[in-house]
Amino acid sequence: MLVAAFIYFSMKSKRNPLLPTDWPLVGMLPGIAASLLGHVTAAGKKSWYEFLTNALVASGHTLKVRGPMASSMNFFVTCDPMNIRHMYTLNFANYPKGEGFAEIFDTVEGSVMTSDGENWRWRRAMSRQALAQPELLTYLSRRWCDKVEEDLLPLLSHAAVTGTKINMEDLLGRLVFDLSTTLVFGVDPGSLSVDIPPTASPALDAIMEVAFFRHIMPASMWKAMRWLNVGPERKLAEAQRLIHGFVLDMIKKNKDRERGTAAPVDLLSFFTVNYPDDLSVDQTGEPNKLLHATLISSMIAGRDTVGTTLPWLFYNLAKNPHVVSAIRNKLAPIAAASCKQEDDETLMVFEAEETKPLVYLEAVMFESMRLYPPILYERKSALAEDVLPSGHQVRAGDVILISLYVMGRLDSVWGKDYCEYRPERWLSRDGSSLLYVPSHKFLAFNSGPRMCLGKEMAITQIKTIVAAVVWNYDIELVEGHAVEPKLSCSMQMKNGLMAVVKRREKGCNDENKLS
């Protein structure tokens, strides 16, 4: 017995130290738990993300994780672009989200986010039809500009005048939450104001945080915690209660609002008018289960991509002032052509059509999403046995987790300078066009048949917000403030993004004042 133990641990000691140790009975759980605990307790250290990155790189980009004996914690983790292409496109039918995914995200169970097969096809077609309304993008583009001009810029000006330090993550999150709610319900909840009213946005954050722990816990454990209403499951239950109440309130306001001459284009109105047999609201204002899940998943989809991208984008811009100057150089001719007053007090907002040709601004966004993807993990389940391009044998029922965070840090894809924030990597040599990067190498907007339906909408929204803020203000990080990702399925910031805002001195026709 002692000899066998000595041989076992001697063999383990010769393995790559960057890989988690596979212990008897408990598998790799101790190493994973230690890295998670380190991330929670060690301020300023991205220990969990470094642990995962190092492990995947050391394993050749695909790692088979073994959990405790008799648990459901046996799965693959991969960041290999060829594996992703195989699962997302070439053999898509064999790799659905799976029942486990729907259980983890039970708040939106039944929506397009968690569905597979024919149900998914129908719900995706329904969402595609809703987002393709000709009047929708025109309405939203106008609403984005109005919201930035009337709410966001005055708040930033107030912070600049008073010298108040602000949490840019919270501020931008509120902005995007209001915009997403307007898309879904046709109602602005007004959470972006000086008095900072309560918002349901933290409840949506809780869904993603608890989903992270459900991914890495044995299902029996988190289900027991849910039954006992303790730990993260108690936090999720409260979040679900708040979201449910918010949805009911927004449905009522949608019903009570004044109707103009044009038909409403918000998603709630579209769904209940065009799919009344499936997505309906009863006389008391209660949505059926499918409509409820559809509305919440639409809020998450509309908020998370933009709401998590913007803070990290401004973080990268604050650390790279030469990129800010380059953006302003691109915006200067537009400002000069449209500005009516040649003074430093003019607050400029750029229309969607004005920022559409700015490929450099798009490259700035993609480069930030590469390093800090909005969604950190994707999950697939195998229906039948298969062999991945990496050579790993997959059995029916196996779960595969895809790390978007590590995908953005592969030198085989992005070069030896993958750690640098360099928007130019996305541009042609003369900077006039974006280089093609296949979605299986850059998964921020998903890939294959599940490609994000709102991709162009999100890009336009981000460009509108960034252009206005960068042109009118200088954003400086508060010295000593630790910026790091939270443990979540989405790229939330653990401590927010504390910044100082300063009004930028400029003249609308002075392209030399760009510092």
Residue ranges at the known binding site for heme: 452
Per DSSP, the residues of 15-41 read S-TTSPP-BTTTBTHHHHHHHHHHHHH
The tokens describing 448, both together, are: 């294959």
Distance CA 345, CA 326 (A): 22
Distance CA 252, CA 250 (A): 5
3-state secondary structure of 167: strand
Sequence letter at residue 406: V
3-state secondary structure of 498: strand
Q: List Cβ neighbours of 460 (8 Å cut-off, separation of 6 or more).
A: 137, 141, 144, 352, 355, 356
Distance CA 236, CA 241 (A): 9
Q: List Cβ neighbours of 111 (8 Å cut-off, separation of 6 or more).
A: 123, 290, 293, 294, 296, 297
Residue list for the binding site: 452
Question: 3-class secondary structure for 269-312?
Answer: HHHHHHCCCCCCECCCCCECHHHHHHHHHHHHHHHHHHHHHHHH
3-state secondary structure of 58: helix
Residue 269: alpha-carbon gap to chain centroid: 26
Say which DSSP state 480 is in: T
3-state secondary structure of 359: helix
The tokens describing 72, both together, are: 């459901």
For residue 268, count other CB atoms closer than 10 A to its CB.
Answer: 26
Distance CA 71, CA 219 (A): 8
For residue 347, count other CB atoms closer than 10 A to its CB.
Answer: 15
| Cα maximum dimension of the chain | 85
Q: List Cβ neighbours of 494 (8 Å cut-off, separation of 6 or more).
A: 482, 484, 485, 486
For residue 276, count other CB atoms closer than 10 A to its CB.
Answer: 10
- In angstroms, what is the C-alpha Rg of the chain? 24
User: Count H helices, E strands: the chain?
Assistant: 20, 9
